[in-house]
């Protein structure tokens, strides 16, 4: 598990527990995935809430700007908190 540098805080949305509220620090990873996430509104400084996780951990539901968006684990790992 990657560390965010802050004890007790998840490094990415993929590591966050259900109900977690946080602020996006940055979006990093594959250029195509990053572009898609940025176009959906996953931008630095934006507040997010992890709403739900599917039974086997994929996908996750994230509340962002009043909308709930489903992300695959690979996409959620790109959203750094």
In a domain, 3, yes or no: no
Beta bridge partners of 26: 80
For 78, phi and psi rounded to 5 degrees? -75, -20
pLDDT at 2: 38
The Cα–Cα gap between 72 and 79 comes to 11
Q: Kindly report the CATH number assigned to the domain that includes residue 73.
A: 2.30.30.90
For residue 44, the Cα-to-chain-centroid distance in whole angstroms is: 11
Q: Which domain holds residue 17?
A: 13-80
What's the maximum distance between 2 C-alpha atoms anywhere in the chain? 31
Q: Could you tell me if residue 35 is inside a domain?
A: yes
pLDDT band at 9 (very low <50, low <70, confident <90, very high): confident
pLDDT tens, 50-78? 999 999 888 999 999 999 999 999 999 99
Place of tokens 């802050």: 6
Number of domains in the chain: 1
Q: What pLDDT score does 56 carry?
A: 87
Quick check: helix, strand or coil at residue 13?
helix
Task: Share the mean pLDDT of the chain.
Answer: 89
Residue 8 within any structural domain of the chain: no
Q: Kindly report whether the global pTM for this prediction surpasses the value 0.75.
A: yes
Q: Is residue 1 part of a domain?
A: no
């Amino acid at each position: 598990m990657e560390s965010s540098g802050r004890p007790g805080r998840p490094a990415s949305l993929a590591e966050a527990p259900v109900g977690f509220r946080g602020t996006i620090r940055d979006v990093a990873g594959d250029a195509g995935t990053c572009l898609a996430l940025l176009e959906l509104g996953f931008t630095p400084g934006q507040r997010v809430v992890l709403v739900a996780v599917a039974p086997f951990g994929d996908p996750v539901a994230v509340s962002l700007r009043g909308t709930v968006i489903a992300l695959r684990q690979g996409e959620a790992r790109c959203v750094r908190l």
